[in-house]
Structure 1
Amino acid sequence: MKARIVNLLSIFLILGFFATPSYALLGGNDKLPDFTELVEKNSPAVVNISTTQKVSREHALPPGFEIPEFPEGSPFGDLFRRFFGEEGPPGSGPEEFDSQSLGSGFIISRDGYIITNYHVVKDAEEITVRLSDRRELKAQVIGSDKRSDIALLKVDAGDLPVVAIGNSEKLKVGEWAMAIGSPFGFDHSVSVGVISAINRNLPSENYVPFIQTDVAINPGNSGGPLFNLDGEVVGINSQIFTRSGGFMGLSFAIPIDVAMDVVEQLKTKGKVSRGWLGILIQDVNRELAESFGMKKPMGAVVLRVLPDSPAEKAGFKEGDVVVEFAGRTIHRQSDLPLAVAAYPVDKEAKVKIIREGKTRYLTVKTGELPPEEELAQASPDQPSSQGESATLGMVLQDLTREQRKQLGIDDKRGVLVKEIREGPAAEAEVRPGDVILMINHQNITSRKQFEKLLSDLPRGKLLPMLVQRGKAPLFMTIRLEE
C-alpha cells in the first residue's frame, strides 16, 4: 500500500513539474516582460530622419562593353542611355544627382533638440524629421562628433514629446532592452532582446565603450534609442556586425552617458574635447608579458612617446606598460584611450606603469586630443641598401640620413633589416624593411653596437624588441638561441 502511495505521489510531482510555467522555473516571476506600455509611452519621441545629399556619378560602361541595341522607343534603351550613355561634351564631367538615406533619432528636449548618429546626417544638404503624428519638420545640425558618431539636431517646434534619459553605467549583462526605429524605412518598428556585453571595443572605434545587444537592428535603425525596462534611454543604436547586410545577432549601441557628454559639449562649445597623452600603444600578449617580467598579460605597452606631448613631459618611456590610469585598471590596450579620452583636459592624473619589471607611478597632465588629420601617419617607401652584416638570421645595415628623414627616425638610434634568413628573427616574424630601435629596453644606435650588445643579452628567454614598420612602431618578442 505504501509503495502505491509513493508511486502516485511521484506521478503527481512529475505532472506538477511539467505543468509549472517556464517563467516560474526561470526565477519565479509571474510573467515575462510586457513592452506595450513602454512602446506607447516612448514612440511619440522617436523620429524618422531622412536626408538628401549631392552625389556625383560617372555614366560610362566598363571597358569592352557597349550599349545593346533595343527596339526604337523601348524604355530599356532610354534607361541604358540615361545611366550608361556616351560621355557628354568635353569638360562636362560627372553628373550630380540627389541621393537619399534614412535613419532614426529621438527628441531630448521639448524645444526640439534631437540626437542621432553622425553617419546618418553626414554631408546632408537637407534633413527632414518625421514625427509620429506625421508632421515633417526641417532640421539643422547644431554640432556633430565623428569620433563618437553622435550628431545633435534642432527643429523649430515646441511642446514636443521627449524621452527619459537613463544611466548606462548601471547596465548589467542579461537584462532586457528594447529598440524603436525605422529599419528599411518602416517607422516605429519595435524589437527586443538582452544586453549581451558592455564596454565592448570595436577595431575601428577607440573612444566608445559600446553596449552589445541581440536586439534586432537593421539599416534605418541607426541613431534610434535603446531603452531599458524602466523606459529610459540607455544607448543609441549605431552599428551591426553582418555578413549579409542585415541583422545577425550582434548589435552595438553608444552608451547614453557618452552621448549626453558629447551633446553637452556640442551645445556649450560647439566641439568635443578629449583627454590625450601623446603615446602610441600596443596590447600585451603572453609572450610580451613574459619578456617584461609580468605575471600575466595586461595593460598597454608604450611603442612611441610623441615629442612635446603630455606623456613626454611626464617621463613616459618606450616599453613602459600602463596598467592603471587615474584609478582605472587597464586590462587591455583599448581600455587606455577610453579612460584618457573621458578624463578632463588639463587635469593631472596618476598613472601606474611597469618599467623593466618594476612598478612605478607617474603624474601626467592631460592634453587635448588633436584632430584625426594630425594623428594620421603615412607609410614611407622602403629604404635603400648600404653596408650590411648578418645577425640572428637578419641582414642589417645602418640608416642613411635620407632614410632617417624619410622614416621620421632621429639620428641617435635604429638599424635597418635588409633581409631575413632562417633563425630567431624569422621565428619572431621580423620583416625586411623593419627598423630595430630597441632590444631588452636598450636603444640600438648602429649595426656594430647591436652586434656587440647581443653578446651581453640573456639566452633562451623571450626578450622585448621594439621595431618600426613603415612609420608605425611595434613591440615583438625574440628568443636568442642558447
Structure 2
Amino acid sequence: MFHQTLARTLFRAAVIAAFFAGYPCLNSTAIAAGGAPLPAREKRVPPANAAASVDFPAMVERYGPAVVNITAHAAEQQTLGPTPDAIDSDDPFFAFFKRAAPQSQESQGSPPRAMSGTGSGFIVSPDGLILTTAHVVDRSDEVTVRLTDRREFKAQVLVVDAQSDVAVLQIDATKLPTVKLGDSSRVRVGEQTLTIGSPDSFQNTVTAGIVSATSRTLPDGSNFPFFQTDVAVNLDNSGGPLFNRAGEVVGIDVQIYADAERYRSLTFAIPINLANKVLAQLQTRRNVSGGSLGMEVQDVGPGLAVALGLPRPAGALVNSVEPGTPAAASGLKPGDVIVQIGDKTIDRSAELVEDAADLQTGTKITLKLIRNRKPMTISVMAGASGETPGARQNEDGAADRLGLIIHPLSEDERRASGLAVGLMVDGVSGPAASAGIQPGDIILSLNDTLVESQEQVATLEAKAGKVIAVLIQRHNARSFVSVKLR
C-alpha cells in the first residue's frame, strides 16, 4: 500500500514537473502509465513587445547626433520665424483642415499655420544630405545648419517639393552621423513613435506618442497621404525625424496650428516613402548631370505631356544641359523629350539614368527625341565635349499675361544663379500661382523657347494653346511646370 501511494505521488510530481518544464512527451507518458489523456496545452505566443523592450534613451543616444537645427534667413528680415506662418490655400495641409476639419465661425479668417524659418532636420548620408520640411526653408535666401557638436554650416537647398512638403539640403561635410530610414507603408495606427528635435541649444528634445491615424481620403475624394500622431507640439521638432520602435525613421515631423475650436493644433508626419521619392528624383538628376552625358532630366507628367504635344506622358524631359558635356556637343536642348536610347524605349527618366551610367567613354549612342512636337534623332558620344552658344543680354520686362511680374536678371542675380539669361519672378497671380510658381523663381523658357524679355513671354503666350510648359530654376534645381492659361 505504501509503495502504491508513493508511486502515485511520484507520478503526480513528474507530471507537474513536466508541465512546467514543457516536456513534449508529457501526454504520451501519461497515457502509457494508464491515466486519461491530458488535454493539449494551448501554445503560448509571447506578446509582440516581449522579444525586446523599446529603449528610447538608447535610440536618442544613437541617432540624436544626426538631428540638426535649421535656421532660414530672408533678405527682408533676419529669419523667417520662429512663429508659425499661414500656409497657402494650395497646400495639402490646408486642404485637410478645409475639408476634413472645417474651422469655426469665430476662427474664420485664421488659416492653418506651419512652422517656418526655424526647425529641425536629420542627416541621411555621411556626406551631408539632410531632410526637413519645405515649410521650414521655403522662400529663404540663406540656410544655416547647426549640429549637436556645435559645428555650423551654410546649407544649399537642393529641392523644395511643396506637394510632399519635403525639402532636401546639402552641407559641405563628411563622415557625419546618419539615421536609418524605414518603410512608412508598414506604419499602423496605435504603434509607438518617438520624435527628436534640435533647438538652438545644441541639445536634443524628445517627445513620444502613438500613431493616431494613417493616410485617408478627404470628402472630395482627394488623398491625404500624411499620418497623424499625438506627440506633444514642440516648436523645434518640426522637420525632425519620427522613429518607430525599431529605431527606423518612418516620417518627418510637421507641426500644424489650426486656430480652430475643434483642432487647436495637430502633429502630422510626412511618410518617409514620400521623402524617398524626392531623394530618388534628386539622385536621378545628379546621376545624369554628373555621369557620361551631362544633363538634368525629369519625368513627364500628364500636364506636361499636353503642353509639349506628346501622345502620352512618357520619356525623359531635359531640364538643363551642362556646357562642355556630351549632351551639349550633340545639340541637346532643354525641353527635348528623350523617348529612346539605342534600341530601348524610355518611359521614365530613371531608365535613361541607368543606361547613361553604363556608357563607356568613347561610346556612340543614338537618342530619339521629340523637339517642338517633332520627332528627331541625334547621336551622342560619351566623353565628348562641346560649348553651348552664348546667350544675348536681357531686356527690361514688366508684367506678363501668365500672372507673372518679372524682370531680367541683374548682374548680381546672374552671378548668384550661374545663369547668363533668365527672368526673375517678382510676383505671381492667377495661372502662374495656381501652377506653383513662386517669387524668386527664374523663368528660363516657355514651350521649349528660351526667353530673355517680357515681350518674348507675351508673344509665346499668345501663340500657346490651353497649356504652356514653363521651365523654371528654383534653388539651383530646374523643373518644368505646366500652366493652364485662361
Q: What band does the TM-score fall into relative to the shorter chain?
A: 0.3 to 0.5
Q: TM-score, normalised by structure 2?
A: 0.41
Query: Could you tell me the TM-score, scaled by structure 1's length?
Result: 0.41
